[in-house]
């Protein structure tokens, strides 16, 4: 296990809520974001979490920043619409 990202911690009730949401989540993108939060709180580094999820460390750090700045609801919202073509 590596160095924690800024000593990130989750209160017990918040952690339980995230775990429940993750169990119910059918989409892999949101599931990965929720997993990232839990693993970061467990002390894994952004690099380690990224490796586990097949994502870059920058994405993991962006997800954490989004959660810290705007909360769980924003983290679970996928706002990217893609190229209209």
How far apart CA 1 and CA 52 sit, in angstroms, is 12
pLDDT digits (tens, 9 = 90+) for 36-62: 999 999 999 999 999 999 999 999 999
Q: What's the token pair of residue 44?
A: 């894994």
The pLDDT-based confidence of 6 (bands split at 50, 70, 90) is low
Is the pLDDT confidence value at 84 over 70?
Answer: no
Model confidence, pTM: 0.84
How far apart CA 47 and CA 69 sit, in angstroms, is 21
Is the pLDDT confidence value at 81 over 60?
Answer: no
* Count of all residues that appear for the chain in the document: 85
Q: What's the token pair of residue 55?
A: 């994502």
């Amino acid at each position: 296990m590596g160095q924690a990202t800024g000593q990130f911690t989750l209160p017990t009730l918040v952690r339980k809520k995230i775990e429940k949401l993750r169990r119910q989540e059918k989409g892999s993108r949101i599931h990965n974001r929720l997993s990232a939060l839990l693993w970061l709180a467990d002390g894994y580094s952004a690099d380690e979490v990224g490796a586990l999820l097949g994502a870059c460390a920058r994405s993991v750090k962006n997800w954490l920043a989004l959660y810290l700045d705007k909360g769980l609801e924003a983290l679970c919202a996928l706002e990217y619409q893609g190229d209209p073509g």
